[in-house]
Amino acid sequence: MATNQMRREAAKRKLARQQERRALQAKRRKQITVITSAAVVVVVVVAVVLLSTLGGSGSSGTTTEPAAAAVTPEHIPTDVAPLPTRPTALPATVTCTYPAGGAAAKQVQAPATTDISAQGTVPVTLQTNVGAIALTLDRALAPCTVNSFVSLARQGYFDATGCHRLTTSAGLQVLQCGDPTGSGAGGPGYTFPDETFPELTYGRGLLAMANAGRDTNGSQFFMIYGDAQLPPNYTVFGSISAEGLQVIDRIARAGHDGSLDPSPGGGTPVQPVTIEKAIV
């Protein structure tokens, strides 16, 4: 027959077992919490890596995390491409059209449209914070494009604007400028048709118009300092001087931040580039 002493001892043993079980359960809950927290951290890190790798930006304005290190060209060709020539020469003067299109990044007047010369060249110098880039615009190659570029330059449209995009891949090595907003989406408030032909090729030393599709030219242009394997969809309207190419080479060798990869490609130049004044 159990005595009071025996009952008390049994109760103590039961209480000890309960406390032991509670301590073990608490330990397990703590381990589960730690494991869950670690899993959440891993998921967040993977998400950040995916966003950094797969995200892109362009005219939509979407941004991504910049690359950890500057992306620089492995090789810059030194051979300068010859300026293209039209298979059939244009008449001495042409008529151009500049229909309104999009909001203007800077308020400017649209260029003249009649009796536009298709003969001769126009020298333009882009005074930048990195050095002078001298250009020669060719009216015989793209008279309406030259007419627009000269009009914008004379109105100060390019002054105090940055070059927002640099590409360094083997198939596309260009510095893109001409958007006062720096977003890749800015334009002058009008567009104009392409002045292209099937025989067009691209290479180091050529100046061409950027676009968002057929006949959507505005103010953005790109200067080719190396390779450019492109279809003949971009109006070439001039050339870059040897000294100007040396300036762009220095910008290219500093690299870009990868913020526009994978589409449209490239990123913001690591060496900031500002067109202080465009002089015609």
Q: Is 82 a domain residue?
A: no
| Residue-level pLDDT at 69 | 81
pLDDT, position 5: 61
254 in any annotated domain: yes
**CA–CA distances in Å: residue 119 to residues 7, 140, 147:** 116, 5, 11
Q: What is the CATH number of the domain that holds 151?
A: 2.40.100.10
**pTM metric for this prediction:** 0.77
Tell whether 141 and 238 lie within a shared domain: yes
Give average pLDDT by consecutive 10-residue segment, the chain, 280 residues.
59 63 55 34 29 28 52 95 97 98 95 98 98 98 98 98 97 97 96 98 98 97 97 98 98 96 94 98
Co-location of 187 and 115 in the same domain: yes
Give the three-state DSSP class for 115.
coil
Residue 219 CB-half CA count within 13 A:
40
Shared domain check, 48 and 118:
no
Q: Which domain holds residue 150?
A: 93-279
Per-residue model confidence (pLDDT) at position 174: 98
111 in the same domain as 183? yes
Is residue 78 included in any domain, yes or no?
Answer: no
Q: What pLDDT sits at residue 53?
A: 17
Identify which of 167, 162, 160, 166 has the alpha carbon closest to the alpha carbon of residue 182: 162
Residue 212 lies in a domain: yes
Q: Specify whether 3 is located in the same domain as 110.
A: no
**151 and 25 assigned to the same domain:** no
- 273 located within any domain: yes
Asked whether residue 48 is assigned to any structural domain, the reply reads yes
Same domain, 126 and 250: yes
116 is a domain residue = yes
Report residue 154 CA to chain centroid gap.
26
Q: Do residues 152 and 267 share a domain?
A: yes
Q: Residue 271's pLDDT is what?
A: 97
Angstrom distance (rounded) from CA 149 to CA 126: 12
pLDDT at 37: 34
Looking at the structure, tell me whether residues 102 and 172 fall in a common domain.
Answer: yes
The total domain count for the chain is 2
Are both 137 and 234 inside the same structural domain? yes
Q: Do residues 147 and 271 share a domain? A: yes
Per-residue HEC secondary structure of 131-191 comes to: CEEEEEEECCCCHHHHHHHHHHHHCCCCCCEECCEECCECCEEEEEECCCCCCCCCECCEC
For residues 122 and 253, membership in a common domain is answered with yes
Say which DSSP state 6 is in: H
Q: Tell me, yes or no, whether 195 lies in a domain.
A: yes
What is the reported pLDDT for 44? Answer: 31
